[in-house]
Amino acid sequence: MAPLIRLEGLTKRFGETVAADDVTLDILEGELFGLLGASGSGKTTLLRLLGGFETPTAGRVLIDGVDVTALPPYERPTNMVFQSYALFPHMTVAANIAFGLKQARMPKPEADARVEEVMELVKLTELGKRKPSELSGGQRQRVALARALVLRPKVLLLDEPLSALDKKLREHTQFELMRLQRELGITFVIVTHDQDEAMAMCSRIAVMDMGKVIETGTPRAIYERPQCRFVADFIGGANIIDAEPVGPSRVRLPALGVECAVTDSLPAKGWVALRPERISLSHDAPAGGPWPAGQVEAVAFHGDFQLYRVRMDGGVELRVAASNVPGDPKPGERAFLSWPADAPVALSR
Amino acid sequence: MRVSRGAKIAGGTVLGLGYAFLFAPILSVIVYSFNESRLVTVWSGFSTKWYGELAHDDRVLNALRLSLGIAAFAASGAVIIGTMAAYALARFGKFRGKALFSGLVAAPLVLPEVTTGLSMLLLFVLMERLIGWPQGRGAITIAIAHVTFAVAYATVIIRSRIASLDPALEEAAADLGARPFAAFVAVVLPLIAPALAAAWLLSFSLSLDDFVITAFVTGPGATTLPLLIFSSVKLGVNPEINALGTLIVGVASMVALTATLLQRKSG
Amino acid sequence: MSAATARRRGVLALPWIWLGLFVAAPFVIVLAISLSSAGYGSPPIDFFIGWQNGHPTFNINLDSFELLASDQLYIRGFLNSIAIAGLTTLLCLLVGYPMAYVMARAPARLQPLLVMLVILPFWTSSLIRVYAWIGILKENGLLNGLLLHLGLISQPLVILNTPIAVQIGMVYAYLPFLVLPLYATLQKLDWTLLEAAADLGAKPWSAFFRVTLPLSWPGTLAGALLVFVPASGEYLIPELLGSSTLPMISTVLWTEFFGNRDWPMASLIAVMLLLVLAIPLLFLRGGQATAGRV
């Protein structure tokens, strides 16, 4: 299936800074695609290049096979939900939503019907006559959504849609967005710095750093089989440990003084990613050893789990997320670390 | 933070004296506009006769008409040009010659009035020599000069308002299908309207009040109100001027009130 | 994106043309005239560039420059202007800073009213207000009347048409120009800093000098410049309230132009005014802007 969106060699320079560095990316129709990265990683720039708010220094943007690189925002089949929502303060909610329809010179009865329809979709009925200043943050976001959706774009762009909302509303909105996307079948491209959000919502994620796309894949693939240390660390904060191959699917971890199995093979010296929640702690040496040991330095209570920082005998510090550890290790005590055979992921870069 | 009573009294006194200083001359004008006697120091009774004489003084009425006309023209011209300049400065980022442009816009704010007045007169003289227009100096040259210095003030006010607008608003308008001019009219204009009004009123006020620049670029027959008042004052204290002054204070107060309220509304 | 560039050019066109014609060109012309000779025609100028037999002829006249440098009148005029403007700025600071400070510390609901009261005189005719001072300061004016009545003096004071009258008028006219920007700066000040200072043992005056004053410096500077530069070029107030014994440079310019019909000389004074005052100001403003202020 040909991708709906294709970014080809997209580069954007602002003076000396390279905000997007030769990015090539395909997004398929119907995806809920996430651009994930820290601030300054280039994700917002990419979104804006897609929407037509920036012109690339090099490269092309193709939507549905058409080269839209030279087209301004009002000629592209995309619509954007801005981070600040950008609601027109001097217009009512209904007027805001109808704005695009008015620009397209849609006859009033038809436009009114469409506005009604979309307001029902995002559950905004009854608020039509209010002004943005009279709405809550969540309501304003729904207006911004409605305003974009009423135009039935091929692609909906969302810039950090959940960052301004409080925790409870965030969860609710997450599901709402996923539901909307499913029902309407529109391709969504979301920019976010929150990995939990990206993994929960998106069908595919592109992890970005310094203007480049580091890795693309489904949330599960990226989480369970990261291709590089950056992604392993960025997503879920895995422990990155130096490793040497000692055989097929087996490595030696010099800093810990043990050998263990790995998923896939490590062709040369590299690393192993070990997620904190897959490591077990115990006072006594577990079976199937030898297992490394160290001194518990700190314990942080996180509600559904405890986060342990353990200084291993080899000097390296590992993080362990566990709950109800028998013996309840405290700072100062020694403990053994162990993990299942499929936990370590081999990384060659 | 707790403020001591002593500090409050001191503060009140400072402000009281300051305002007294600022308003004393204005009050004296108002009070003496109702003085029957010509002499300032002698109060001979309440009278509105000077207002009556003012109403029949053709020279004053003509000068007033001229000044009001020029002020309206200058204010309108300044807001139009000022909006363009302000929008460019606030939204265009870097453009060729921006520093020079910025400097030219701000120049009248920085230059002494005698310099601005003299240089514009020389320009008009040269233009007349070279292309035959403007023919002689008068209302037209005054109007042009007033627009020029008012643009400086208008641009400052409007620019500050545009800069405080979320740029995403215009991007959203474009995203929703509005071409740039349509986006400007539908989104920017309504939101900067109070600043435009405040700029118009300020320019109007400055034009009405200008003496020095007008004196340089004026010509036979074009006597504005300030020019008239000046020559009157040079001849001696004239009670009609007190009446005129009081009226100006009254109107100006209302204008100032309106403008301040508008600026506050526009943030 | 050439449609966008065309649009930009469209928006900039009118301002550029207007400013180029009515701000930039006049400046160049003034410069040119200052190099020309005074003539007898109308206008009374012999331009420094002429056209004869198909090629330009130059007749640069530096008499004005010589005169400016040598004749005491001009030098004194400049120095007077700078001195009076300087004193005005100082007095405005002494009177205006306390006013701005009290306004900034006043209860929030009072502040807009206080600001409006400062702005109000500014909107009424400046001519009328200067004229009012004539009525107050003249020999048989209000001030003398009041003082005589109270028995504080036995002879009327001669204030009008002296430098003192000019000074009073200047401070009066320029006070709002200092108070308003200063108020704007002080109002944005984080007053909890003073609480922190008090917590650390600073007495009120000490806190003022070590915290408030330094932090309000940019606003103070802005206000001072906003007074000093226009004040040095002020014409009306010295003309109506002062005397010809202490001319300010604008009055000199005026006399040269209207009285002596020496346009080149007047132009030269205008150019010097610009150089001496405006250019340092622009540099300072530029410096302030890069420092992140204003």
pLDDT score of C293 more than 60: no
The CA distance from A161 to A169, in Å, is: 11
Q: Does residue A253 lie in a domain region?
A: yes
Nearest to C274 among B21, B115, B252 (CB): B115
- Complex ipTM: 0.85
For chain B, how far is it from start to end, CA to CA, in angstroms? 27
Q: Is residue B69 part of a domain?
A: yes
C1 contacts on A by Cβ (under 8 Å)? 55, 70, 72
Q: List chain C residues with CB under 8 Å of A70.
A: 1
User: Smallest Cβ distance to C128: which of B88, B118, B245?
Assistant: B245
Chain segment C43-70, per-residue pLDDT in tens: 677 776 666 666 766 677 777 777 877 7
Query: Do A244 and A209 share a structural domain?
Result: no
User: Is C190 within 8 Å of C207 (Cβ atoms)?
Assistant: no
> Are residues A198 and A306 located together in one domain of the fold?
no
For A90, the closest of B177, B182, B191 (CB atoms) is B191
- Do A182 and A72 fall into the same domain? yes
Q: Is there a single domain that holds both residue A182 and residue A75?
A: yes
Is 60 exceeded by the pLDDT of residue A339? yes
Q: Which domains are seen in chain C, by residue range?
A: 71-290 (1.10.3720.10)
* Same domain? A218 vs A250: no
Q: Mean pLDDT, to the nearest integer, of B171-200? A: 94
The CATH number of whichever domain residue B104 belongs to comes to 1.10.3720.10
Domain boundary among A174, A198, A224: A224
Interface contact A147, partner B, CB < 8 A = yes
Residue A231 lies in a domain: no
**A331 shares a domain with A264:** yes
Residues A277 and A182 both lie in one domain: no
Query: To the nearest whole angstrom, how far is the Cα of B163 from the nearest Cα of chain A?
Result: 15
**What is the domain-level CATH number for residue A307?**
2.40.50.140
Span A109-139, pLDDT tens digits = 999 999 999 999 999 999 999 999 999 999 9
Q: Which two tokens stand for residue C190?
A: 């984080």
Average pLDDT of the residues of chain B: 89
Chain B: closest CA distance from residue A26 (Å): 22
| pLDDT per position as a tens digit, A7-40 | 999 999 998 999 999 999 999 999 999 999 999 8
Cis omega before residue A276 (within 30°)?
A: no
The phi, psi pair for A217, rounded to 5°, reads: 175, 180
- Position C41 scores a pLDDT of 63
Q: Does residue A291 form part of some domain?
A: yes
**What is the mean pLDDT of the segment spanning A162-184?**
91
Q: Are residues A174 and A314 in the same domain?
A: no
For residue C17, pLDDT over 90 is answered with: yes
Residues B177-210 as b or e (16 or more Cβ within 10 Å = b): bbebeebbebbbeebbebbbbbbbbbbbbbbbbb
At A211 the three-state DSSP class reads coil
Q: Is residue B44 part of a domain?
A: no
Tell whether A199 and A342 lie within a shared domain. Answer: no
DSSP alpha helix (H) spans, A107-194: 108-121, 137-149, 167-184
Residues C202, C77: Cα–Cα separation, whole Å: 47
Q: In percent, how much of chain A has pLDDT > 70?
A: 100
- The whole-number pLDDT of residue A13 equals 94
Residue B145's domain comprises 57-265
Residue A22 located in a structural domain: yes
Q: Which domain holds residue A302?
A: 240-347
Quick count: other Cβ atoms within 10 Å of Cβ A64? 14
> In A, which residues are within 8 Å of B190 by CB distance?
90
**A-chain residues near C4 (CB < 8 A):** 72
Tell me whether residue A233 is in a domain. Answer: no
Average pLDDT on B128-136 reads 87
In a domain, B29, yes or no: no
Which of A224, A252, A270 is the endpoint of a domain?
A224
CA distance, residue B48 to nearest chain C CA (Å)? 19
| Subunits in contact with chain C (3 or more CB pairs closer than 8 Å) | A, B
What is the Cα–Cα distance from A320 to A318, expressed in whole angstroms?
7
| pLDDT of amino acid B267 | 47
Q: What is the pLDDT of residues C21-43, one digit of tens each?
A: 999 999 898 888 888 777 666 66
Phi and psi at residue A149, to the nearest 5°: -70, -30
* A232 within a domain of the structure (yes/no): no
Same domain, A42 and A130: yes
- Nearest-Cα distance to chain B for A182, in Å, is 23
* A287-290 contacts, C-beta under 8 A, 24 or more apart: A288/A338, A289/A258, A289/A338, A290/A257, A290/A258
Q: Are residues A73 and A108 in the same domain?
A: yes
Q: Does A72 touch chain C (CB under 8 A)?
A: yes
Provide the number of structural domains found in chain A: 2
Q: How far apart are CA A132 and CA A340, in angstroms?
A: 54
Task: Write down which residue in A169, A200, A224 finishes a domain.
Answer: A224
CATH of the domain at A99: 3.40.50.300
If one counts the domains in chain B, the total is 1
Residues A316 and A205 in one domain: no
